[in-house]
């Protein structure tokens, strides 16, 4: 679908086709916008680690009509087992008790399954430019954003939205370097796939010593599983961030003396062709828009995987931004409304980092013992009680349609 020059529909370019991008594309298309999505990868990224959809975000996917297929794709993790340094069981928790509280069960799906469902919703209505990205932006011409793509094509749009993730280039080019918005949370992690030679199925097994964690996550019955190695590091390892060889050496050195299955995991990490290494951090910005450019999802307010809320914030943020644009013709008013109505929800969910998953990665022996004592006492995880942050936002009743 090529945008027509004579079209009076407002043209929006979205950078990034993962969760926030296609979700926003869906709602904006329904609201009558002409939408183009540019994605630097050659195709939609499939597969991937499991993510959760909870609270208000569940209502968003219900309104999109994809809740039934996401329920079918639910990974149904049945058991969480926590191990000590020698691989002895500290606690084993029933997955059904862990996922979801008073509001009903959480949805846990592979990130790629969610992205695929969102893409399938919009691919016939929205223009997708894969294997391309924004090279330069020009806001000097009145009323439009001029974009030159890496491929050389040049286009103009009424608005641009960066949905290009934690390390957003859109954010860097409009708001400045990432450092000023990145809140480092003191941990680094490596995630990769490896052979499931352990016979694990629908379960997560996590080994901890103070400041280090290793997990085997068998999302289904597959012959491969997700290996996860995370460690406390007071300062972000800047040298490692752009160099996979340095990342592998760093992780190898940190886990050199570890017991249980960790040596085999480190070997698998060294072999993996899908290693994903990053710092654990959040994006916190004073504003999510500037001129005709706005940010959504991780690009604007990544909460870190310690909250388990990144995808949910991306879905809810996309809905709120589309709603604001659909109900306010003036983009500045719309961006202000998006921010005003969404910021508290984002802040509450980012704050989960101090109480939620972070407590699964204690950095001192005392804190680890306290966590283990809590786990031993529990039939359910602490988070299985009511979690108002997930549901703290009431969606505008009217879906963003015209
Ligand atoms: C190990 C791990 C575990 C996680 N667990 C959970 C969980 O349990 N629950 C949860 O809710 N969230 C979880 N998350 C977070 C979740 O994956 C993200 O918060 C969520 O995917 C955010 O979606 P997004 O669309 O904003 O950004 P992303 O998913 O990061 O997508 C950004 C997209 O933009 C593209 N892109 C990047 N740069 C450019 C460019 N210059 N031009 C064009 N395209 C570009 C990328 O290729 C990508 O497709 C986890 C993350 C990790 C890493």
Instruction: Convert the pLDDT of each residue in 15-30 to its tens digit.
Output: 999 999 999 999 999 9
| Shared-domain flag, residues 28 and 108 | yes
Instruction: Give the domain extent around 148.
Output: 11-76+103-180+284-356
d(C-alpha 165, C-alpha 358), whole Å: 21
| 329 inside domain | yes
| Shared-domain flag, residues 120 and 62 | yes
Q: Which among 329, 15, 16 has a CA at the least distance from the CA of 143?
A: 329
pTM of the prediction?
A: 0.92
Per-residue tokens: 91: 């606690």
CA of 327 to the centre of ligand 1 (A): 28
Residue of minimum CA distance from atom 39 in ligand 1: 164
Average pLDDT over residues 62-91: 93
> Which of 266, 281, 296 lies at the terminal end of a domain, its last residue?
281
Among 164, 216, 390, which residue has the most ligand 1 atoms within 8 Å of its CB, making it the best to mutate? 164
* Ligand 1 atom having least distance to the Cα of 111: 17
d(C-alpha 162, C-alpha 11), whole Å: 14
| Shared-domain flag, residues 25 and 130 | yes
Q: Tokens 């490896």 label which residue?
A: 194
| 43 inside domain | yes
Average pLDDT over residues 25-50: 93
Asked if the model's pLDDT at residue 95 lies above 60, the reply is yes
| 394 inside domain | no
| Shared-domain flag, residues 195 and 313 | no
Residue of minimum CA distance from atom 28 in ligand 1: 165
| Shared-domain flag, residues 43 and 108 | yes
| Shared-domain flag, residues 255 and 293 | no
| Shared-domain flag, residues 211 and 121 | no
Please state, as a whole number, how many other Cβ atoms lie within 10 Å of the Cβ of residue 23. 33
| Shared-domain flag, residues 206 and 258 | yes
| 400 inside domain | no
Looking at 29-43, 57-71, 90-104, 206-220, which range is the least confident one?
Answer: 90-104
CA of 115 to the centre of ligand 1 (A): 10
**Dmax (CA) of the chain:** 68
Average pLDDT over residues 105-113: 87
| 364 inside domain | no
Q: Give pLDDT, residue 399.
A: 60
Please state, as a whole number, how many other Cβ atoms lie within 10 Å of the Cβ of residue 382. 14
Helices 310-327 and 331-350 sit at what angle, rounded to 10 degrees?
A: 160
Counting residues of the chain whose pLDDT is more than 70, the rounded percentage is: 91
Question: How far are the Cα atoms of 164, 189, 191, 285 from residue 111, in angstroms, in the given order?
Answer: 15, 17, 14, 25
| Shared-domain flag, residues 215 and 309 | no
Q: Give pLDDT, residue 353.
A: 87
Per-residue tokens: 294: 């706005």
| 85 inside domain | no
Q: Give pLDDT, residue 5.
A: 43
Please state, as a whole number, how many other Cβ atoms lie within 10 Å of the Cβ of residue 257. 11
Q: 396 exposed, middle or buried (CB, 10 Å; 0-12, 13-18, 19+)?
A: middle
Helices 20-30 and 56-64 sit at what angle, rounded to 10 degrees?
A: 50
For residue 271, the domain's CATH number is: 3.30.9.30
Higher pLDDT, residue 86 or 385 = 86
| 97 inside domain | no
| 377 inside domain | no
CB contact at 8 A, 265 and 222: no
Is ligand 1 within 6 A of the CB of residue 163?
yes
Task: Give me the number of domains the chain comprises.
Answer: 2
Structure letter (DSSP) for residue 211: T
For residue 30, the domain's CATH number is: 3.50.50.60
> Which of 232, 259, 281 lies at the terminal end of a domain, its last residue?
281
| Shared-domain flag, residues 239 and 320 | no
| Shared-domain flag, residues 224 and 108 | no
Is ligand 1 within 6 A of the CB of residue 308?
yes
* Ligand 1 atom having least distance to the Cα of 16: 34
Among 13, 27, 39, 51, which residue has the most ligand 1 atoms within 8 Å of its CB, making it the best to mutate? 51
> Which of 281, 311, 338 lies at the terminal end of a domain, its last residue?
281
| Shared-domain flag, residues 192 and 314 | no
């Amino acid at each position: 679908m090529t945008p027509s020059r004579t079209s009076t529909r407002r043209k929006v370019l979205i950078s990034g086709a993962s969760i926030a991008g296609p979700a926003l594309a869906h709602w904006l298309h329904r609201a009558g916008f002409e939408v183009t999505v540019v994605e630097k990868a050659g195709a939609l990224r499939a597969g991937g680690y499991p993510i959760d959809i909870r609270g208000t975000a569940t209502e968003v996917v219900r309104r999109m009509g994809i809740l039934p297929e996401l329920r079918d794709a639910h990974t149904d993790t049945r058991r969480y087992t926590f191990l000590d340094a020698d691989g002895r069981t500290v606690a084993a928790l029933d997955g059904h008790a862990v996922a979801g509280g008073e509001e009903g069960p959480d949805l846990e799906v592979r990130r790629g399954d969610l992205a695929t469902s969102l893409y399938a919703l919009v691919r016939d209505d929205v223009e997708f430019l894969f294997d391309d990205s924004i090279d330069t932006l020009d806001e000097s011409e009145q009323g439009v954003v001029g974009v030159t793509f890496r491929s050389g094509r040049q286009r103009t749009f009424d608005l641009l939205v960066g949905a290009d993730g934690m390390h957003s280039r859109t954010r860097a080019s409009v708001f400045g370097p990432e450092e000023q918005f990145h809140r480092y949370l003191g941990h680094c992690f490596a995630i990769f796939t490896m052979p499931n030679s352990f016979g694990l199925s629908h379960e997560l097994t996590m080994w901890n010593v103070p400041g280090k964690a290793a997990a085997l996550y068998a999302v289904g019955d597959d012959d491969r599983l997700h290996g996860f190695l995370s460690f406390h590091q007071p300062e972000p390892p800047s040298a490692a961030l752009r160099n996979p060889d340095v990342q592998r050496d760093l992780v190898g050195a940190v886990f050199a003396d570890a017991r249980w299955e960790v040596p085999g995991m480190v070997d698998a990490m060294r072999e993996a062709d899908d290693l994903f290494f990053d710092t654990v951090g959040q994006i916190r910005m004073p504003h999510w828009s500037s001129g005709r450019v706005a940010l959504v999802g991780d690009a604007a307010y990544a909460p870190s995987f310690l909250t388990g809320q990144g995808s949910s914030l991306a879905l809810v943020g996309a809905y709120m931004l589309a709603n604001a644009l659909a109900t306010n013709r003036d983009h500045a008013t719309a961006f202000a409304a998006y921010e005003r109505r969404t910021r508290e929800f984002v802040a509450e969910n980012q704050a989960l980092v101090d109480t939620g998953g972070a407590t699964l990665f204690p950095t001192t022996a005392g804190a680890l013992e306290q966590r283990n004592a809590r786990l031993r006492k529990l039939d359910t995880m602490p988070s299985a009680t009511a979690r108002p942050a997930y549901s703290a936002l009431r969606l505008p009743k009217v879906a963003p349609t015209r």
